[in-house]
A = this chain, B = another copy of it.
Amino acid sequence: MPNPNLAERITNDLLEGNIQNIKDVLAEVHPSEIAGILATFPPEDYQRILEALDAETASEVILELDPEHREEILGELDAEKIAEIVEEMESDDAADLLGELPEQTATTVLSKMDPEGLRDVAPLLKYPDDSAGGIMQTELVKVSDNFTIRDAINWIRLIADEIPDFHQIFVTDDGDRLLGDISLQKLILATPGSKVIDVMEPLEVTVTPYMDQEEVAKIFQKFDVLSAPVVDEEGVLLGRITADDILDVITEEASEDIMQMAGLGDTLHPIFTPTQTRIRLRTPWLLLTLVGELFIAFIIVYAFEPTLKKVAVLAAFMPAIMATGGNVGLQTTTIVIRSIGMGTINIKQILRIIFLEVRVGVTLGVICGVLAAVIGALISYNEPEVFKIVLAVFIAMVSATMATSFIGVAAPLILHRLDFDPAAASGPFLTMFNDIFGSVFYLFIAMLIFN
């Protein structure tokens, strides 16, 4: 919740060029709140406000900004200043930020960084953004397996300033291979003279650097851990991931699912995403659907014009059939996509899942079909062959819900099986498929009945 008075004070200070005042005021405010305030200012003021902050606060504010705002601001800063800010960040955040920069700029920034910061960040840059390696941080506490508990505590005293937050101490051998961990809790309880190797516990959970972040999130949820080490195939300790990183992953992945289901290429923001970008990202799906729907129009014009001329009221029920089929399909596909996303279905039960969903879909279709037939008969009671009309409506309604249930359940499962994103199965694709049943198939049935 940005504080409006605060924003006003800063505006006044900016007008009067009183940067010191801004410094004093913002010293009391949490970085995420500063980010919120910043977002209400016009772009030309960003840099001046950021200049009023020390590098550490500035780095935290930048992390809290929307990606669009961040891009805008970073575009204004020179490489030297960015390097200064990046050095203040934890390695995972620093790597993410560098990944967001244009390649040229990222290279320049890396060249300006001090060796220590570079050492932490460089190993992370080789992993994809959405992999365990991309979200891990390299700052961690590890001790050699021949340490005593006393050695370990002394070592922690030495390095505690550099490592902001840790909850476990990793024990590694000479080859840096991870052997186990000691929770801080256990460390406090242990006798100072005992060997770490006798106190440590085997690791319940480890992840590998190329593991997909969604997979990592599922492991965190399954084992209810707050932190997990990342090790390579030789067992060498590379970094650690903490639950707060996973919170972002889960939010991101859920958004991706929702966005994809709505035929949106990416997470769009209703204010910050530029209009052009929004149109560019939304148009492809729309045009794809439209072309499919115009193909439907083509079939109707050439195959069913005589039927429609003869029984014009048939057209009146097209929206009802399309909407019912569409809703049933959307419900089905949502249930399946979400179950896949949450990892709660066993893909081996694919046939059973399809059978169960289609059975539910047909039942819903019969319920809706009966209602539509009854009300349809009332609506068109003075048509000469009302029974034929409602028969066509009923058959089309049941067929449509059966077909859309089948596609709604089968398409995401098959995509998932083939390692594609199951969410891509819904939205425009499902709409088009469904509308064929709600219009072309319905008119085809009507034509058969009336001839």
Contact = CB atoms under 8 A, between A and B. Distances in A.
B2 A346 contact: yes
Contact of A319 (B279, B296, B344, B380): B296
A189 interface: yes
Nearest to A401: B286
A385 B44 CA distance: 55
Interface in A127-183: 153, 156-157, 160, 165-167, 183
B289 A327 contact: yes
B305 A376 contact: no
Instruction: Determine the main DSSP class of A at the interface with B.
Output: helix
A297 B322 contact: no
B315 A300 contact: yes
A269 B344 contact: yes
Interface in A295-354: 296-298, 300-301, 304-305, 308-309, 312-320, 322-324, 326-328, 330-331, 333-339, 342, 344-346, 349, 352-353
A379 to B, nearest CB: 5
A66 interface: yes
Interface in A222-268: 222-226, 242-244, 246-248, 250-251, 254-255, 257-259, 261-264, 267-268
A399 interface: no
A445 B68 CA distance: 41
A330 B268 CA distance: 13
Given A282-B331, A305-B313, A328-B286, A320 B294 contact: yes
Nearest to A60: B224
Contacts of A262: 330-331, 333-335
B359 A275 contact: yes
B330 A427 contact: yes
A97 interface: no
Contacts of A342: 251, 255
A184 to B, nearest CB: 4
A2 B344 CA distance: 12
A285 interface: yes
Given A283-B364, A379-B297, A324 B289 contact: yes
A166 B271 CA distance: 41
Interface stretch (A76-84, A108-116, A430-438): A430-438
A328 B165 CA distance: 45
A439 interface: yes
A293 B352 CA distance: 33
A30 interface: yes
A270 interface: yes
A354 B331 CA distance: 28
B301 A356 contact: no
A189 B297 CA distance: 75
A360 to B, nearest CB: 5
16 contacts: A220-B244, A258-B338, A259-B334, A259-B335, A262-B334, A267-B338, A269-B339, A269-B345, A271-B352, A286-B368, A289-B324, A291-B371, A296-B316, A305-B313, A305-B316, A312-B312
